Structure 1
Amino acid sequence: MEISCKSEYAILALLEMASHYESGEPMQIRQIAAQQNIPDRYLEQLLATLRRGGIVKSQRGSKGGYLLAREPWKITIFEILECLEGLDVQLNEKDTNAKSVDSSVVGEIWQEARQAANAVLQKYSLQDLCEKRNSRRQLDIMYYI
């Protein structure tokens, strides 16, 4: 399983927004794009999709920008990927009826792998990613001292 460029950029942008969540101030696209090295136009499209999915909200005006719609610990990585990629968590029943025994066995294994991956993605929130990043940064700082 690989993460798409679209999903990676979106998660990086949301990670940046989660880092600034406590301030309550909206972040502008150019701020996020500069911090995470994401093309502005592409980020604009991603944030529009995430807004429609209820993960972020936008605020208009001179001090406008984007904010997380909920607390970082309430937004799972699975939810983000589902919004962007439209993850299919269930196998179609009609697909299983039309397959041979061999295909059914392969399909069952693939479904089990998907369920395991989805369980991991549902386990981690944006807050968890922030904490992992911060602990790695601390280790890097200590290493260079």
Structure 2
Amino acid sequence: MELSCKTEYALLALLELACHYSDNEPLQIRQIAAQQNIPDRYLEQLLATLRRGGLVRSQRGAKGGYLLSREPWKITLLEVVSCLEGLDAKPSENNNTSKTVESAVVEEIWQEVHQTANSVLQGYTLQDLAEKRDSRRQLDIMYYI
């Protein structure tokens, strides 16, 4: 399994919004794009998708921008990935009578991989990402004498 560029950029944008959640002030696309090195136009499309998915909300006006629709600890990574990639939790229903034993075994393993990945993504929230980032930054601090 591979992390798509679309999902990575969306997670970075949501992480930026999560870090400013307590400010209760919307962030503009250009602010998020500059902070996370995401192309403005692409970010605009991603945020529109996330808004339709109910993960962010937009605010119009001079001080407008985007905010998380709920607390960062209530938004799981699985929700984000599902919103962007359209993941379906149900296995594909193919004609089971024409399957070989080998293809059935491969499908069983693939379903296990899918369920495990979903379980991991369900276990992490945007708040968890922010905390991991903050702890990593703390480790990167070097003191010079």
TM-score by length of structure 2 reads 0.96
Mapped to 2, the partners of 1:14 and 1:23 lie a distance apart of 15
How far does residue 99 in structure 1 lie from its aligned partner after superposition? 1.8
Question: Paired residue for 1:72?
Answer: 72
Question: What letter matches 2:63 in structure 1?
Answer: K
Question: Paired residue for 1:8?
Answer: 8
Q: What pairs up with 1:51-90 in 2 under 5 angstroms? A: 51-90=51-90
Question: Paired residue for 2:138?
Answer: 138
Question: Paired residue for 2:120?
Answer: 120
Mapped to 2, the partners of 1:46 and 1:126 lie a distance apart of 16
Farther-moved stretch of structure 1 (116-125 vs 87-96):
87-96
* Percent of residue pairs bearing the same amino acid type: 71
TM-score by length of structure 1 reads 0.96
User: Aligned to 1:114, what secondary structure does the other structure show?
Assistant: helix
* Change in 2 beyond 3 A, CA 1:106/1:67: same
State the 4+ residue runs in structure 1 displaced beyond 2 angstroms: 92-98
How far does residue 95 in structure 1 lie from its aligned partner after superposition? 4.4
Mapped to 1, the partners of 2:50 and 2:24 lie a distance apart of 18
CA offsets 1:67-113 (integer angstroms, 9 cap, x no match) = 00000000000000000000122112334444211101100000001
Question: Paired residue for 1:34?
Answer: 34
Aligned residues between the structures: 143
Mapped to 1, the partners of 2:18 and 2:95 lie a distance apart of 40
CA offsets 1:103-145 (integer angstroms, 9 cap, x no match) = 011000000011001000000000000000000000101xx11
- Structure 1 unaligned runs (5+)? none
- Structure 2 unaligned runs (5+)? none
Question: Paired residue for 1:22?
Answer: 22
Could you say which structure has the higher helix fraction?
A: 1
